[in-house]
Amino acid sequence: MLVETKGLSKRFGSFYALKDIDFSIKEGEIHGLVGENGAGKSTFIKILTGVYPKTSGKIFISGEEAEISSPEESRNLGISVIHQDRNLIPSFSGVENIYLGMDTPKKHGVSIDFRKMRKRIEAVMEEYGIDFPLDSMAKDLSPSQKTMLEIVRAVMNNSKLLILDEPTASLTDKETEKLFSLIRRINSGGTAILYVSHRLEEIFELTSSITVFKNGQLVSTVRTKDVNQDALVRLMTDNWVSSKGNDDIHAVYGRAVLTVEHLSTQDGIVRDVSFEAHAGEIMGLFGLGGSGRTEALEAVYGLRGIKGGRIEYEGKDFIKPTPSKCISSGIVLVHEDRRGHSLVVSRSVRDNIVLSSIGNYSHHGIYDVKRERKDAEEKIRQMNIQAQGQDQVAGELSGGNQQKVVFARSLMTEPKVFFCDEPTQAVDVKTREEIHGLLRKCAKEGSAVVYVTSDLKEMLEVADSITVISNGRTWERLENRGLTSEQILGYCYKDR
């Protein structure tokens, strides 16, 4: 065996992200790894590549036990990974990115020999039929070119195992075909491929065997030819059943507050997204990793360039959206990256709460501090934010209380549409229930809620309807009456 793990486990506190994983991959094999969101795939990859230390268990490389404590050690053992979010430095050229972490040739043992570096890279590119501008900065490359760059880097690292994590998430069909051809060529030279994807048609096309993860455990390894898609989906899911019945769901929603038709983005991640968000409804937008769910919300909110499509808000065309325009119009986004996009961690709780409505406190050049403090205090009480006071720095709060601050700020603008992207991520059970209750209350009072979560069980508990998004396109809209997780995953994995 090229790589083998025995009893591999990873624990965060008392929670096991991985438990007792016995896995193996042979030299020259293309092996698929599948599982729904949160199954443990990413944690497994991070252990093999030295990002996370293992809690217990053993890793063997070519029969020898190995301790992988850093990405450098992993590379030295011949393991390379291409992440869905490309691991490149945006301002570096192709040559500079390829040589990251590698020894660079020197002129007279002193200065870097860029000519020799480039010559070696070009030889690899010619051998594998790869073409992209080496002098361009990574930020100017297309998603396909970034993938090719990382493949060149892996080949130059003499990889024995190449891990590909959702490599086609932002590629066109033609680019995907080219990538598959390249993968087969690299594999024919003896390199093992661990192919991780939510796109089951790709798993069936490329692999000879498939391992299924569920809830941090390895449930089965099967030969690809011995299983079909339905059987694979059954292995992946616990088949939760929605607890919502007819009495829990509005028979008739209010008007469509927001309508999105055939939306596409300039980066090609969102290809054809359509949905309606009605007053009084919690509309779930569910997709697997790389489906385009977050990017679709970002596009409507003005955080991502729009290529085509139409947005209608309150019966009128909503042209050239920006975050400022959305907030002033009554649309708010609770972003999945709380600390990066939704919170100024170095500022006080009060500053964060009033941030989106700060203009309301200035009249004729005079700022009404007293009213600002009064409103902030009211929201702290309403959201039950546990803080030493409104002047406490937001970054000092727990994750759950930070998220409450984000919702408090959203409520200050009296929104008509909530975009909630992973709103209960990394919060405790009590805070999660409080957020669910708040959104139900807002919907009951006439707001529209668009809810994104990677937790399918949570989606079945919260959403009134669920729109499926896959490969950057929306498909079925399902009323959440007795739906099962197996049904929804079946739509996500459906070969279109």
- pLDDT tens figures, 125-142: 999 889 999 999 998 988
The domain boundary, picked from 236, 268, 301, lies at 236
Same-domain pairing of 128 and 275: no
Q: For residue 300, what pLDDT is reported?
A: 97
Same-domain pairing of 440 and 295: yes
In a domain, 359, yes or no: yes
Dihedral-angle region of residue 101 (phi above 0 means left; psi in -120 to 50 means alpha; beta otherwise): left
| 162: nearest Cα among 135, 138, 128 | 128
In a domain, 137, yes or no: yes
Contacts of 421 (CB under 8 A, 6+ apart): 293, 294, 297, 333, 334, 335, 336, 452
Nearest-5° Cα angle at 433, 428 to 437: 150
- 72: domain CATH number is 3.40.50.300
pTM above 0.85, yes or no: no
In a domain, 368, yes or no: yes
In a domain, 241, yes or no: no
- 216, 16 contact by CB (below 8 A): yes
Q: For residue 244, what pLDDT is reported?
A: 62
In a domain, 75, yes or no: yes
Same-domain pairing of 92 and 125: yes
Same-domain pairing of 204 and 316: no
The domain boundary, picked from 195, 216, 236, lies at 236
Same-domain pairing of 119 and 209: yes
Same-domain pairing of 381 and 308: yes
Q: For residue 8, what pLDDT is reported?
A: 97
- Low-confidence spans in the chain with pLDDT less than 70: 85, 170, 240, 242-252, 495-496
Same-domain pairing of 217 and 315: no
pLDDT digits over 236-249, tens only?
Answer: 887 767 656 545 55
Same-domain pairing of 55 and 165: yes
Range of the domain at 109: 3-236
What total of structural domains would you count in the chain?
Answer: 2
Same-domain pairing of 203 and 250: no
Which residue(s) pair with 313 in the sheet? 258, 316
Hey, what amino acid is at 45?
Answer: I
Same-domain pairing of 252 and 286: yes
In a domain, 431, yes or no: yes
The domain boundary, picked from 203, 236, 269, lies at 236
Same-domain pairing of 207 and 343: no
Helix 369-382 to helix 399-412 angle, to the nearest 10 degrees? 120
Q: For residue 242, what pLDDT is reported?
A: 63
Q: CA distances (Å), 101 to each of 72, 90, 114, 147, 164, in order?
A: 7, 16, 15, 18, 19
Same-domain pairing of 17 and 153: yes
In a domain, 475, yes or no: yes
